[in-house]
Amino acid sequence: MSDVPVDPMPAAPDPVPVTAAAEPGQPSETPGPAKSRARLTGAVIIQAITQGSSAVVTILAIFLALVVGGVLIVFSDPVVSRAWSSFFAVPGYTLGQTWHAVSFAYSQMFEGAILNPSTVSAAFHGGSIAAIFYPLSSTCAQATPLILTGLSVAIAFRAGLFNIGAAGQWVGGAAVATWLGFGVSLPPVIHVIVCVIGAFVGGAVIGWFVGLLKARTGAHEVIVTIMLNYVMYDLLQYLLSHPAMLQEPHQTNEIAPFPASDANLAHVGGPPPQVGVGFLIAVAAAIAVAWLLSRTTTGFQFRTVGASPSAARTAGINVERSWILVMLLAGGLAGLSAATVIQGTNTQLTFNSYGTYGPDGITVALLGRAKPIGVVLAGLLFGALHVGGTYVEAATLGQVPADIVEVLEGLIVLFVAAPALIRAVFRLRTTAGTGMEAVAKGWNG
């Protein structure tokens, strides 16, 4: 390395100058003093776009995914597909049909997930004002567990650990919350709080165990968490198949009783599927994680361990203890995610309640670049896609399946994980680093 740009790896075919001055995209945890605000001029914005800073790449990745998704919508619509077969005869008709199908699907998705203009006009004519917020409220409700498992993956990631085990930790939290919910009777408000704390502890124990194994034996957390997921899935089945444990009495199905009504989280927007207190828990957790990472010595330890375990050790940081602690917190956050589902949507715990919250947490954390604010935004985006997908399926009478959003989610993450592809498609100039490399290389941890 040097003051003057000298290619550090002479074999690289397209060397990138590395200079202290030319690092606009360098993320720094501590924002600069007031002068950095003054620098946010048009030139800086243009530079950010042309150089493809991480945020720009993310936005373009979402855009590109929507374009590819549009192609899929065209294929799934028989009218448009037929129109394409006679493209050379009636090109205008074909393109018109295509535009209509794609714009209809996406506008329906928007109306279902964010705002439906007809509810606004209806409100002026004596309709319900609450109806205007119904889509947004559903989006937030869908986003809630995703934000929490996303935070679980993200906080572990900042300490250099790849938490594939949010699903197993979710199960741990869900089991404890359910048991406390129906098996214990407590005064109203206290019951909710105890259940939420119980869910956190249930997840945290599973996470702590992963951290302990890594710290004591050096077992790789990716393998441990994947295997522990299966253990937890099967443990859940076991618990749900014994009335003495979690199974609802007089049931042959693997299903737990409803939590007591005083153990449920209060509604904010309205009854499910609208948003409840769980969303506030998710946002509060995001703020707490952001504060922990950027403002506390514990967070500094996590980040140092994540960026360079050997430097952390040399600086006297107890790397093993950081691993254990961060996995404990990660597990707890996944447990909170379970609490918002079990207590927030009045659900009976079943053998497959864990759904895809764990894997979705990984994608949300990747898309949010392992930063709390990013995780919240990514969680909201995925929540909106889920809600919008269901809505568009209903609106098109099943012609555009809700599964399309799964494709969109996958594509977004794929494009975000391949910033070079996005830069090539949109002809952005390359920069030395966008911070994405850290996420892409996470498996080496």
Partner 1 sequence: MKLELRGITKRFGSLVANDHIDMVVQPGEIRALLGENGAGKTTLMNVLYGLMQPDEGEILINDQPAHIKSPKDAISAGIGMVHQHFMLVPVFTVAENVTLGEEPISRLALPELNFGRLHVPRVSLPAAATDWLGLFDRRRARAAVRELSERFGLRVDPDAYVEDLPVGVQQRVEIIKALLRDASILVLDEPTAVLTPGETEDLFVIMRQLRDSGHSIIFISHKLKEVQAIADDITIIRRGKVVAERPPTTSDAELAALMVGRSVQLRVSKDAASPAGVVLDVRDLSVPGEHGDLAVQSISFDVRGGEILGIAGVQGNGQTELCEALMGLRPATGSVLLDGQEISAATTKDRLRAGIGYVPEDRQEDGLVGAFPVSDNLVLDVYDRPPYAAGIVMKPDEVRKAAARLVDEYDVRTSSVLTAAGTLSGGNQQKVVVARELSRPNKLLLASQPTRGLDVGSIEFVHSEIVKQRDRGIAVIIVSSELDEIYALSDRIAVMYEGKIVGMCSPDIPEQELGLLMAGATTANGQGNGSGPHRPGTDGPQPAVEMPADQAEPQAEELGSE
Residue written as token pair 């050096």:
218
CB nearer to partner 1: give 242 or 295.
295
With CB under 8 A as the contact rule, the residue among 117, 295, 403, 420 that binds partner 1 is: 295
Cβ–Cβ contacts within 10 Å for residue 296, how many? 11
**Listed ranges 29-37, 44-52, 190-198, 330-338: which one lies at the site for partner 1 (CB under 8 A):** 29-37
- End-to-end CA separation in angstroms for the chain: 24
With CB under 8 A as the contact rule, the residue among 24, 26, 54, 282 that binds partner 1 is: 26
**Taking CB under 8 A as the rule, does residue 41 contact partner 1?**
no
CB nearer to partner 1: give 233 or 300.
300
Contact 145, 341 (CB under 8 A): yes
**Taking CB under 8 A as the rule, does residue 244 contact partner 1?**
no
Measuring CA to CA, how many Å separate 179 from each of 167, 233, 247, 352, 400? 18, 16, 10, 17, 40
**Listed ranges 16-24, 278-286, 340-348, 404-412: which one lies at the site for partner 1 (CB under 8 A):** 16-24
CB nearer to partner 1: give 262 or 320.
320
Classify the C-alpha dihedral 430-435-440-443 as positive or negative.
Answer: positive
Structure-block tokens of residue 294? 């950027």
**Taking CB under 8 A as the rule, does residue 217 contact partner 1?**
no
Which of 61, 6, 52 has its CA nearest to residue 25?
Answer: 52
Distance from the Cα of residue 221 to its chain's centroid = 20
CB nearer to partner 1: give 225 or 431.
431
Number of residues counted as binding partner 1 (CB under 8 A): 45
**Taking CB under 8 A as the rule, does residue 308 contact partner 1?**
yes
CB nearer to partner 1: give 26 or 121.
26
- Site pattern 404..443 for partner 1 (x: CB under 8 A): ----------------------------------x-----
**Taking CB under 8 A as the rule, does residue 43 contact partner 1?**
no
Structure-block tokens of residue 201? 């502890």
Structure-block tokens of residue 323? 């691993």
CB nearer to partner 1: give 137 or 304.
304
**Listed ranges 75-83, 104-112, 304-312, 353-361: which one lies at the site for partner 1 (CB under 8 A):** 304-312
Structure-block tokens of residue 441? 């290389």
Q: Which ranges constitute the DSSP H helices of 114-248?
A: 117-124, 130-158, 166-183, 188-217, 221-240
SS3 350: strand
**Taking CB under 8 A as the rule, does residue 18 contact partner 1?**
yes
**Listed ranges 17-25, 164-172, 208-216, 254-262: which one lies at the site for partner 1 (CB under 8 A):** 17-25
**Listed ranges 160-168, 300-308, 391-399, 421-429: which one lies at the site for partner 1 (CB under 8 A):** 300-308
**Listed ranges 202-210, 309-317, 343-351, 410-418: which one lies at the site for partner 1 (CB under 8 A):** 309-317
Query: In b/e form, how buried is each residue of 106-145, taking b as 16+ CB within 10 angstroms?
Result: bebbbbbbeebeebeeeeeeeeeeeebbbbbbbbbbbbbb
Measuring CA to CA, how many Å separate 318 from each of 227, 249, 252, 298, 440? 26, 48, 49, 11, 26
With CB under 8 A as the contact rule, the residue among 32, 42, 218, 249 that binds partner 1 is: 32
CB nearer to partner 1: give 4 or 43.
4
List of residues contacting partner 1 (CB under 8 A) = 1-7, 9-13, 15, 17-23, 26, 28-30, 32, 295-300, 303-304, 307-308, 310-318, 438
